[in-house]
Amino acid sequence: MAGDFTQYGIKFQEKMVALFGRIHVKHDAAIIGMVFGERMFDASSFPLYPALLKYLNLYQSSSSRPLLIDAGANIGAASRYFNEVYQSIKILAIEPDPENAALAAANLKMTDAEIITAALSSEDGTLFINDLDFEPIGYRVGRSGNKQVPAFSIPTILSRFAEGTFPFVIKIDIEGGEVDVFEKNVEWLDQFALVIIELHDWMLPGEGCSRNFFKSIGKFDFDILVRGENTFCFNNRLLRKLRTG
């Protein structure tokens, strides 16, 4: 890539990881630093992490591959991070903005990733992206906006794009769109060993942005832990028998 793009290099696990970002979008460099430098998605300090790795190894020995869904993929930095940490994963990177999605495709070129240029919702349909009032790192999707985008539910994504995989990790950072995603059709939650989500009550005070999520995750048996801006939810139904100690 050339022109308005530059390449950022950051050392991670004793090697250099290179990712593209836009010169005119300062948040691209910031998010790369947060993901790889601050390791905002690192789950290794949590008690159930060894069980998560056992779960990964157990099913990797079968004919299925572990699936990562990155909802709100932005420029693909989080997907790239997970690809470095968990080997041989299949990545579905969901990003509604075409420019962000194109940059994610460049950053994930050497991985087994599929970019889905769409929004996440509780049901299939059409939503709108607002890229006028927000920065590229925080475009919002909803019932109104200046650009129309297709919307898919997680069950649809799993049925259309996840053949030959088993749900492993889903990361969700959709700038308040979790209100819609967790309104209904949430049974898919119990299929994932780890759910990582950024909730946006801080951004949308008084709107009860996290209410639907907590109602949904409460239907299943998860340990819920918070570090920084992310909530890490470990699936006890899948992981409890793999615990040690």
Residue 175 has pLDDT above 90, yes or no: no
Tokens standing for 51? 């069980």
**Residue labelled with tokens 């004919």:** 63
Angle between helices 77-85 and 98-107 (to 10 degrees): 30
Domain contains 186: yes
pLDDT at position 160? 96
Total domain count, the chain:
1
Spatial distance between the Cα atoms of 60 and 101, rounded to a whole number of angstroms: 28
**Domain annotation covers residue 28:** no
181 located within any domain: yes
Tens digit of each residue's pLDDT (9 = 90 or more) over 59-94: 876 678 999 999 999 999 999 999 999 988 999 999
**Domain contains 31:** no
Q: What is the pTM of this model?
A: 0.93
Alpha-carbon gap, residue 193 to 82, rounded angstroms? 14
Checking 197-205 for CB contacts under 8 A at 24+ apart, the result is 197/171, 197/172, 197/173, 197/230, 197/231, 197/233, 198/172, 198/173, 198/229, 198/230, 198/231, 199/231, 200/175, 200/176, 203/175, 203/176, 204/176
Q: Is the pLDDT of residue 138 over 70?
A: no
Evaluate whether residue 15 is within a structural domain: no
Q: What is the pLDDT of residue 78?
A: 98
Q: Specify if 11 maps to a domain.
A: no
pLDDT in tens, 5-48: 899 999 999 899 999 999 988 889 999 999 999 999 999 999 99
| Token representation of residue 225 | 């832990």
Enclosing domain of residue 228:
47-242
pLDDT of residue 137: 57
Query: How high is the pLDDT of residue 144?
Result: 65
The whole-number pLDDT of residue 134 equals 53
Task: Note whether residue 156 is domain-resident.
Answer: yes
- CATH number, position 129: 3.40.50.150
Q: Which pairing describes strands 147-152 and 119-120: parallel, antiparallel, or unpaired?
A: parallel
Identify the weakest region by mean pLDDT among 28-32, 104-108, 146-150, 198-202.
146-150
Q: Is residue 88 part of a domain?
A: yes
pLDDT in the model for residue 1: 55
